[in-house]
Amino acid sequence: MGNVGKYAFIGGVGIAVVMAFVAIPNGYVILAVLGLIVGVMNITGDESQGFLISAIALMLTATSIGTLPEVGGVLSEVASNLAAFVAPAALIVALKSLLDSSKD
């Protein structure tokens, strides 16, 4: 079971990049499910703060990177797909952090 989270992460990133070039049926559902798996299985309490900051930065970048000439369209698609993958993981990690902080 330890490798499931690792492969979910690799698969999610790979699918997010491929979706920028090829339409994948139910691709966003697949990304969301893989993101949930990553959030539950991969991110520990020590990693949660850095992960959440990175997720916020990625989600903000995804909206503005399209302004770059020539490559902005493709980079925007990749970043938006990565944000769709990371957002469910960030939700899980944020909820786990809230639960951990409420125990104190």
14 near 34, Cβ under 8 Å? no
* Tally of domains within the chain: 1
Averaged pLDDT, groups of 10, the chain, 104 residues long: 84 94 93 93 84 89 77 83 93 90 75
C-beta neighbour count of 57 within 10 angstroms: 10
Q: How many CA atoms lie less than 13 Å away from 75 in the CB half-sphere?
A: 13
Distance CA 72, CA 68 (A): 4
Q: Is 26 left (phi over 0), alpha (psi -120 to 50) or beta?
A: left
Predicted local distance difference test score (pLDDT) of residue 1: 60
pTM to 2 decimal places: 0.85
What is the span of the domain harbouring residue 69?
A: 2-102
The residues near 88 (Cβ < 8 Å, ≥ 6 apart) are 32, 33, 35, 36, 39
